[in-house]
A and B are shown apart, each in its own frame.
Chain A
């Protein structure tokens, strides 16, 4: 491919960050790649691989403290790195546009969406305000946003994450940029939303004929959008090439590691103990919880409705659902941080007090909570040894030497170097923090660990290592987990049983084998079908979800909660009567009007996303 054809050319790019003692450490070195006009190149790698730094360097920008130390970036016939500040300003936002990961924090809360979408184009005098608004509306329509004429008048809090992400893309495309940089634009979205957003992005970028750089850590997502793939590790290129070639015949061992981590293999579950007469370790009965004043047993903002589940000793229960489905509230209720409005939580056959003050120290000790985000779950003012030492002193009365010895053991157990003990958690990497987070729970010597999205904030490779660690700890220490996640492949990899939550209701629950193939609940079917597969063309094969006709009757609390989105609903039945609980042959318990055969028939065409 001749250099004349390539629209974007990056050569010998070096970016450095300041290090202790006035030195500079390279965070990106010797990166070369080209993007032909109109193609999509994906930069893929773990966090710290320099992918965002490279993407920002394409706009001539380096994050606070960092410096573009060498190399060249050419877009069209402009050498970006030789431009001064005012020239860069005219290039950014008009010729090169950027779509960031979290659209929710990229919009101004106090101005309407339309104001912000047209701001750059109008502010630079490229287009008049009425013309800009007309163009924005056509972009909204192209991005498949609901009510394209009216959506511009809304504010951030009135829109969903997926809508905001698409609106941000519209903002970026307003000036007809020749290069669009998409930095992890779907990472923060639910899988069911991601698929729509990906589809909209792909179509619009193609229509505009723009060249695009797509930054992501998710190979399966990249497989859907990219023409070329560059794999990065620690600021260096490991592999670069055509998307099909990289995905089907990866040449580099690191690429293969990434691919393996993207789809964790199912962990062999330890021999499931024979059903005993003893009560299950944890039992949740008819739990209703939420926020606000409780009236007639229902809180003002209900989050969980009539949830029943149980965890036997030594087993893992996965809880899966979209954001807002009440997964985290479930963990908080069990931990005692949120008082339930109705129902009961039993631990080892004993009812747990609804609030913290009624619980015994033994109960606190046996149930430990591990939060998703280790950045906020570890006190930044404390050292690792203090964080781990506190539960030891608190529950076991250890001090001095015994405590230090146990801290060292815990670090060893979670595969952390002993030298970490005196560090503050701000000095650790994301994976190390999550291990410390886990080690703190283990320090209590618990029977049950509530894991709230523990791998969601981590890279796939690091996340897989944490999952392996969880499985190993479970074997060694006979632990039980309540494992909360939005990622069905993660849950299927490590859980014995799976419960699916939708809008605070348990719509399906059963052993994990029951989730391998049809029939499953229509919502579970949607979840499984929305996980991108790691091959090109999957997105195109996936038929567009038929837009459902609006409901004839108003949604009532008794009816099936999935009704507005259900493709399998039956008029006159589903919108009249509450759904019954049915039990399928595979042991799955469903909340649905259809029986197993009908669901089997509806879902027959589906290829299982994850082969059992």
Chain B
């Protein structure tokens, strides 16, 4: 539902003959920061997909006698608190952060926006039911909620994905609903109602295109939150199970190296930073949003 970066490219690839020129046209309309963001996002998507294949060592292997070792030709990013290769752990961990956080953020934003649109164009009681259900969900502390579910079902990637999505859906819903309710009062939407249009058309064709950009900005924020939530869960031992680790838990487990400025903690922290900044740069630069330039004072 929510067009994301990959979806966007996919939809552009339909007419094969013009796809290349359209992508080129789209790229030329992108600002410099947008291109940097796009490059970072693509880099992390590739690393997330191919990382484990590129890793020089096994993820759990103790390969260095030194802990918190610096850069060397054998270990490009040094070693961690147990003497494991940081680069290998980073490359293997990227898939969890990129895949899991991206998927749950997508799920949360798409569900939130979808429910918000439903609530907006439906009769009042549907809105009430959805909104009160979301209020209930938002009142459950996310860590306790995760703890209970993991205790009941055992930790698995699918469960983590659902927990993260469920935790962040109510917030996404609230923001999207506020946007959609305002747009629903716009004259062009009222004209569509007076034309006799169905609810589905009004939600998807009239309202959604005009709220997509704030929703994407919200998606970027939620993505960062989910990375943090997942690393918090990993710290409690509820997240990605050792010897595997996502980027967040790499930071957590090497926290004792912070005083020495060890690469083992800087590298995953930098990785999280480039990923989240890249996603947000790209979202901010998406086309058709000249507001800052034309409307600015």
A residues near B, CB below 8 A?
63-65, 332, 335-337, 356, 359, 361, 364-365, 367-369, 371, 373, 376-382, 390-391, 394, 440, 444
From B187, B195, B205, B296, residue with most partner A Cβ within 10 Å = B195
Interface check B297, CB cutoff 8 A:
yes
Contact call A377/B187, Cβ cutoff below 8 A: yes
A332 vs B190: C-alpha distance in the bound complex, in angstroms?
9
A382 vs B188: C-alpha distance in the bound complex, in angstroms?
11
17 A-B residue pairs with Cβ-Cβ distance under 8 Å, sorted by A, are: A65-B296, A332-B190, A335-B194, A356-B196, A364-B194, A364-B196, A365-B196, A369-B194, A371-B187, A377-B187, A380-B210, A381-B210, A382-B209, A390-B195, A391-B195, A394-B196, A440-B191
A337 vs B191: C-alpha distance in the bound complex, in angstroms?
9
Contacts of A356 in B (CB 8 A): 193-194, 196
From known contacts A65-B293, A65-B296, infer whether A378 and B197 are also in contact, taking CB-CB under 8 Å. no
Interface check B11, CB cutoff 8 A:
no
Contacts of B188 in A (CB 8 A): 376-379
Contact call A377/B191, Cβ cutoff below 8 A: yes
A368 vs B194: C-alpha distance in the bound complex, in angstroms?
8
A34 vs B295: C-alpha distance in the bound complex, in angstroms?
32
Number of interface residues, chain B, beta carbon within 8 A: 20
Interface check B72, CB cutoff 8 A:
no
A381 vs B213: C-alpha distance in the bound complex, in angstroms?
11
Residue of B nearest to A386 (CB): B205
Contact call B195/A394, Cβ cutoff below 8 A: yes
User: Which of B194, B209, B295, B297 is within 8 Å of A379, CB to CB?
Assistant: B209
Query: Smallest CB–CB gap between A65 and chain B, Å?
Result: 7
Contacts of A368 in B (CB 8 A): 194-195
A163 vs B269: C-alpha distance in the bound complex, in angstroms?
59
Query: Smallest CB–CB gap between A406 and chain B, Å?
Result: 16
A376 vs B182: C-alpha distance in the bound complex, in angstroms?
12
User: Which of A364, A376, A381, A382 is within 8 Å of B195, CB to CB?
Assistant: A364
Contacts of A381 in B (CB 8 A): 209-210, 288
Residue of A nearest to B209 (CB): A381
Chain B positions 22 through 63: 1 when the CB is less than 8 Å from some CB of chain A, otherwise 0:
000000000000000000000000000000000000000000
From known contacts A63-B297, A65-B293, A379-B188, infer whether A337 and B197 are also in contact, taking CB-CB under 8 Å. no
From known contacts A379-B206, A379-B210, infer whether A371 and B296 are also in contact, taking CB-CB under 8 Å. no
Query: Smallest CB–CB gap between B214 and chain A, Å?
Result: 13
From known contacts A379-B206, A380-B210, A381-B209, infer whether A64 and B296 are also in contact, taking CB-CB under 8 Å. yes
Contacts of A373 in B (CB 8 A): 187
Interface residues of B in 248-297 (CB under 8 A from A): 288, 293-297
Contact call A64/B297, Cβ cutoff below 8 A: yes
A236 vs B193: C-alpha distance in the bound complex, in angstroms?
44
Contacts of A336 in B (CB 8 A): 194
Contacts of A377 in B (CB 8 A): 187-188, 191
A364 vs B210: C-alpha distance in the bound complex, in angstroms?
25
Contacts of B293 in A (CB 8 A): 65
Interface check B186, CB cutoff 8 A:
yes
Interface residues of B in 167-196 (CB under 8 A from A): 186-188, 190-191, 193-196
Contacts of A394 in B (CB 8 A): 195-197
User: Which of A65, A359, A371, A440 is within 8 Å of B196, CB to CB?
Assistant: A359
Query: Smallest CB–CB gap between B199 and chain A, Å?
Result: 10
Contacts of A444 in B (CB 8 A): 195
Contact call B191/A371, Cβ cutoff below 8 A: yes
Contacts of B194 in A (CB 8 A): 335-337, 356, 364, 367-369
Residue of B nearest to A377 (CB): B187
Residue of B nearest to A378 (CB): B188
Could you list 17 further interchain pairs (A-B, Cβ under 8 angstroms) beyond the known A371-B187, A381-B209, A391-B195? A65-B293, A337-B193, A356-B193, A356-B196, A361-B196, A364-B196, A365-B196, A367-B194, A369-B191, A376-B188, A377-B187, A377-B191, A379-B206, A380-B210, A382-B205, A390-B195, A444-B195
Chain A to chain B: the 10 pairs with minimum beta-carbon distance, closest first: A364-B196, A381-B209, A377-B187, A335-B194, A376-B187, A371-B187, A379-B188, A64-B297, A64-B296, A369-B194
Residue of A nearest to B293 (CB): A65
From known contacts A361-B196, A376-B186, infer whether A64 and B295 are also in contact, taking CB-CB under 8 Å. yes
A64 vs B193: C-alpha distance in the bound complex, in angstroms?
36
Query: Smallest CB–CB gap between A404 and chain B, Å?
Result: 18
Contacts of B210 in A (CB 8 A): 379-381
Contacts of B190 in A (CB 8 A): 332, 337, 369, 371
A377 vs B194: C-alpha distance in the bound complex, in angstroms?
12
Contacts of A369 in B (CB 8 A): 190-191, 194
Query: Smallest CB–CB gap between A568 and chain B, Å?
Result: 39
Residue of A nearest to B190 (CB): A337
Contacts of A367 in B (CB 8 A): 194
A243 vs B281: C-alpha distance in the bound complex, in angstroms?
56
From B193, B196, B197, residue with most partner A Cβ within 10 Å = B196
A381 vs B210: C-alpha distance in the bound complex, in angstroms?
6
Residue of B nearest to A365 (CB): B196
A63 vs B197: C-alpha distance in the bound complex, in angstroms?
40
Query: Smallest CB–CB gap between A363 and chain B, Å?
Result: 8
A378 vs B190: C-alpha distance in the bound complex, in angstroms?
10
Query: Smallest CB–CB gap between A355 and chain B, Å?
Result: 10
Chain B positions 144 through 159: 1 when the CB is less than 8 Å from some CB of chain A, otherwise 0:
0000000000000000
A379 vs B197: C-alpha distance in the bound complex, in angstroms?
15
Residue of A nearest to B290 (CB): A426
A390 vs B186: C-alpha distance in the bound complex, in angstroms?
18
Contacts of A365 in B (CB 8 A): 196
Contacts of B206 in A (CB 8 A): 379
A365 vs B197: C-alpha distance in the bound complex, in angstroms?
11
A359 vs B194: C-alpha distance in the bound complex, in angstroms?
10
